[in-house]
Amino acid sequence: MEEKIIIAGFGGQGVLSLGQFLAYAAIRDKKEVTWLPSYGPEMRGGTSNCSVVISDKQVASPIIESPDCLIAMNKPSLIKFEEKVKNGGTIIVNSSLVDIKVQRQDLNAYYVPLNDLANQAGNVRTANIVALGAYIQISKLFTKETIEEVIKEQFSKKPKVIPYNLKALELGIEAVKVSV
Amino acid sequence: MKVLMKGNEAIAEAAIRGGCRAFFGYPITPQNEIPEYMSCRMPQVGGVFIQSESEVAAINMVYGAAGAGARAMTSSSSPGISLKQEGISYICGAELPCVIVNMVRCGPGLGGIQPGQGDYFQAVKGGGHGDYRMLTYGPSTVQEAVDIIYDAFDKADEYRVPVMILGDGMLGQIMEAVEIPPMKDPATFPKKEWATTGKGYGDTRRIINSLYIKPDELEEVTNRLFDKYKIMAEREVMAENYMTDDAEIIITAYGTVGRIAKSAVNILREEGIKAGLLRPITLYPFPEKEYKKLAQRKDVKMFYCFELSMGQMVEDVRLSVDGKKPTLFYGRTGGNVISPEDIVKAVKSEVK
Amino acid sequence: MATVFKKTSMLTDAPSHYCPGCTHGVAHRLTAEVIEELGYKENVVGVAPVGCAVFAYNYFNCDMQQAAHGRAPAVATGIKRVLGEDTLVFAYQGDGDLASIGLAEIVHSAARGENFTVIFINNAIYGMTGGQMAPTTLLGQKATTCQAGRDPKVNGNPIKICEMLSTLDGVAYVERVALGSVGGIRKAKRALTKAFKYQIEKKGFTLVEMLSTCPTNWRMTPKQAMDYVNEEMQKIYPPGVFKEVK
């Protein structure tokens, strides 16, 4: 098993931390993982992306040429990375912000209103966790329980935000159950 | 227990576990997490952290601290390492042990902040003025970087040379699961009789110096340096052979490109192409013998070197292969990174 | 027979390479005497510069480090920080070293309040390299790189280090003295004693600037050089205490 995920969006959308949640989940499940961010000026309000490789074996290359899954948090990300996604791969599109459709026919596209669901969960900043919920429901790579543990651990210093994030996770999972 | 850590932070923690108690640095992307981490961590272990006024000052603080006997370190990225070259030359001349980390970005000039390997020549051929070398490592994973830096201060002390860790932006920024080794006990470190602790006086005084006005004296010092490098070449060379046993095509790359090349070897093998990887871990001393061994083998058809530069390590590869086999080169620059697929494509175009 | 004068044991017996009439020897002796008198001769590290005093490590009878050009304050910072407050540290620098190439290092060491003492030899010329213009060369003064005399429009203006450093927090004591007379030399010793005492008391950065002679490169006799220090240099670089924290 080797799963390659690219997560992309605006700086501030929690793109890098979404990747880190996946990495922490991988460690928790005793898998090998690399998390590689884009860095530099891109972090200052522009676009931001990270590459996560999860594997049973040691990860050789952290560079992703063609991801199994793209999580596009905004429109420029979808435009930039769509063509790179592997044949038969998955794209999760943040339909709250992206008003175009995936062009390729060979992909599984999921349109999830990440921001709207995050607002529903109580905080728009949980949009990345909504995406995480959708991703695990589609990929079956991690259980809901694993991610819940990661959320509790990562927000242990800010316990107030844990309920929002757990709710966001739940809404993300449910959103793609419906669309499946 | 394995923990998930960013390369830069893991390197900083491993340095402290390896005995580093003095860090001097200056901000530059993509290595900022090292001084940031050190600024928090050093006070906890009773060490010294200073954000210096420049890279020039930082390396000279390392000179002073190392000369006074501390396990001292600095880190930077390409343009900053250029500024440190004067100090590095003095450190080599004065035979001071220390550790220098270069999270290489692409150049020349201000260049860009994305990964590069264009500082290879600077690291392994001297870099500053005069005749000297550094024990130089090119780790390919965070774990390897951690393991190398953990023992780097021991090596630096043993030979009284600076140890250079040549990483790149990817190695610094990547997060991976790593096993951080336990804290070394400074009481077990060898005593440095040569260090200027302030207690020397008269016959017992120590001088840290690289100035020798008489040619014969300086030649003697230079010879002594190169005698040490010779011993390093016998004892310290490290390289990874990956599926080279029956390989016909030897892919060679160091650092993060080395791990990317490993993926390429796996893909090529699946397609029935007998490729293997020779990955130097020490860049100086260079694993010359490993290349020679493979070059002598009848079934080896060619070497193919991949770098994030216009071709620097390939010169050492060619010197080692010594014309016995063709040595091809593929490089990307500007911060563009070679993918496994790029390597597969390049190799396949030669096989057909 | 009663001993009336004894050379300080903080200086080695190595013959000095300084020119006749040069005041580096005086500055060395004063520094060495003060360290010995304060009882620190076996608890001190000195830093030698690049310039005429590059061989200072041959003369001071203690642990010494030789630093790259201008970097002595950075080297001294590294030493002092790892050895701790109880070891005396001093840097000995000339004007080219301190006021030109090493300006960033001296200013930032001072601003950080690094607790060591700098002995700054200002003879308004590059001595070791053969008489080129220094950052402290006086207007009108001749040097091999301003042969008609220093012209501010072409060569810029002299830098006044004590005045400049005295504006910085972190600086505990800054004094300028002139080694052109017996009285000046006595004052210099008092200034050095105070500077080192401040360091012992952990008060912060201390610096003593010594207006010094360079008869060789000034093309003067030693006597003329002394007069030049007293008459010309002091006009631009007035002696005095520029900063003293209580």
**Domain boundaries in chain A?**
2-179
Q: How far is C43 from chain B (nearest CA, A)?
A: 5
Q: Quick one: tokens of B309? A: 């530069």
| Sheet of strand B275-280, all strands in order from the earlier edge strand to the far edge | B239-242, B275-280, B249-252, B302-307, B327-331
Of A111, A68, A112, A73, nearest to A90 by C-alpha is A68
Domain membership flag for residue C188: yes
What's the pTM value of the predicted model, to 2 decimals? Answer: 0.95
Higher pLDDT, A41 or B14: B14
Phi and psi at residue B80, to the nearest 5° = -70, -35
Which residues, in sequence order, are CB contacts of B297 under 8 Å at separation 6+? none
How many whole angstroms separate alpha carbon B35 and alpha carbon B47?
13
Query: Who among C41, C43, C45 is closest to B68 (CB)?
Result: C45
Structure confidence at residue A178 (pLDDT): 66
Structure confidence at residue C37 (pLDDT): 98
* In the predicted structure, residue C25 carries a pLDDT above the cut 60: yes
Which residues, in sequence order, are CB contacts of B292 under 8 Å at separation 6+? B320, B321, B322
Check if B2-235 and B239-351 are the same fold. yes
Domain membership flag for residue C60: yes
Structure confidence at residue B298 (pLDDT): 97
Domain membership flag for residue C13: no
* In the predicted structure, residue C54 carries a pLDDT above the cut 90: yes
What pLDDT digit, counting tens, does each position of C208-226 carry? 999 999 999 999 999 999 9
The pLDDT of C55-68, averaged and rounded, is: 98
* Domain regions of chain B by residue span: 2-235, 239-351
The C-alpha R_g of chain C, in whole angstroms, comes to: 17
Structure confidence at residue A11 (pLDDT): 83
Structure confidence at residue C246 (pLDDT): 87
Does A42 reach chain B within 8 Å, measured CB to CB?
no
* In the predicted structure, residue A41 carries a pLDDT above the cut 70: no
The pLDDT of C16-36, averaged and rounded, is: 97
Does B207 reach chain C within 8 Å, measured CB to CB?
yes
Q: How far is B142 from chain A (nearest CA, A)?
A: 10
Structure confidence at residue A47 (pLDDT): 78
Of B76, B97, B80, nearest to B165 by C-alpha is B76
What pLDDT digit, counting tens, does each position of C151-205 carry? 999 999 999 999 999 999 999 999 999 999 999 999 999 999 999 999 999 999 9
Q: Tokens 């006799």 map to which residue?
A: C221
Structure confidence at residue A12 (pLDDT): 85
Handedness of CA B41, B46, B47, B52 (dihedral sign): positive
The answer to whether the Cβ–Cβ distance between A61 and B340 falls below 8 Å is yes
Residues of C in contact with B206 (CB under 8 A): 63-64
Pairing of strands B72-76, B98-104: parallel
Q: pLDDT band for position B265 (50/70/90)?
A: very high
Higher pLDDT, A48 or B62: B62
How many whole angstroms separate alpha carbon C177 and alpha carbon C209?
6
C-alpha distances (whole Å) from B237 to each of A77, A86, B72, B123, B135 are: 44, 40, 23, 16, 10
Q: Which CATH number covers residue C147? A: 3.40.50.970
Structure confidence at residue A46 (pLDDT): 65
User: What percentage of chain B reaches a pLDDT higher than 90?
Assistant: 99
Domain membership flag for residue C206: yes
A166, A168, A173, A179 alpha-carbon torsion, rounded to 10°? 160
The pLDDT of B187-193, averaged and rounded, is: 97
The pLDDT of B58-78, averaged and rounded, is: 98
Half-sphere exposure of B214 (CA within 13 A, CB side): 3
CATH of the domain spanning B239-351, picked from 3.40.50.11540, 3.40.50.300, 3.40.1160.10, 3.40.50.920: 3.40.50.920
What is the interface pTM, i.e. ipTM, of the complex?
0.95
The pLDDT of C233-245, averaged and rounded, is: 98
How many whole angstroms separate alpha carbon A163 and alpha carbon B124?
54
CATH of the domain spanning A2-179, picked from 3.30.930.10, 1.10.238.10, 3.40.920.10, 3.40.50.300: 3.40.920.10
Query: Who among B48, B90, B211 is closest to C54 (CB)?
Result: B211
The pLDDT of A86-109, averaged and rounded, is: 97
* In the predicted structure, residue B37 carries a pLDDT above the cut 70: yes
CATH superfamily of the domain spanning B2-235: Thiamin diphosphate (ThDP)-binding fold, Pyr/PP domains (3.40.50.970)
What pLDDT digit, counting tens, does each position of B157-189 carry? 999 999 999 999 999 999 999 999 999 999 999
How many whole angstroms separate alpha carbon A77 and alpha carbon A69?
13
Does C108 reach chain B within 8 Å, measured CB to CB?
yes
Structure confidence at residue A39 (pLDDT): 74
Structure confidence at residue A44 (pLDDT): 53
Q: Quick one: tokens of C134? A: 């220094």
The answer to whether the Cβ–Cβ distance between C104 and B54 falls below 8 Å is yes
Residues of B in contact with A35 (CB under 8 A): 4, 174-176
User: What percentage of chain A reaches a pLDDT higher than 90?
Assistant: 87
**CA-nearest residue of chain C to B196?**
C63
Structure confidence at residue A172 (pLDDT): 97
**CA-nearest residue of chain B to C8?**
B202
Q: Quick one: tokens of A73? A: 């948090």
Residues of B in contact with A27 (CB under 8 A): 2-4, 177
Domain membership flag for residue C183: yes
Phi and psi at residue B23, to the nearest 5° = -130, 135
Higher pLDDT, A41 or B273: B273
Domain membership flag for residue C4: no
Query: Who among B141, B169, B176 is closest to A39 (CB)?
Result: B169
Interface test with B, best of C65, C114, C168 (most B CBs within 10 A): C65
The answer to whether the Cβ–Cβ distance between B50 and C83 falls below 8 Å is no
The answer to whether the Cβ–Cβ distance between B177 and A27 falls below 8 Å is yes
Structure confidence at residue B92 (pLDDT): 98
The answer to whether the Cβ–Cβ distance between C78 and B63 falls below 8 Å is yes
Touch B-A: 3+ C-beta pairs under 8 A: yes
B–C CB contacts, 8 A cutoff, strictly below: 140
C-alpha distances (whole Å) from B88 to each of A153, B69, B126, B161, C198 are: 43, 17, 9, 10, 33
* In the predicted structure, residue B57 carries a pLDDT above the cut 80: yes
Which structural domain, as residue segments, surrounds residue C57?
24-244
Pairing of strands C117-122, B135-137: unpaired
How many whole angstroms separate alpha carbon B166 and alpha carbon B103?
6
Give A48's strand partners: A9
3-state SS, residue C214 = coil
Domain membership flag for residue C196: yes
Kindly report the average pLDDT of chain B as a whole number: 97
Structure confidence at residue A45 (pLDDT): 54
The pLDDT of C58-82, averaged and rounded, is: 98
The pLDDT of B2-19, averaged and rounded, is: 97
Of B200, B165, B198, B218, nearest to B12 by C-alpha is B165
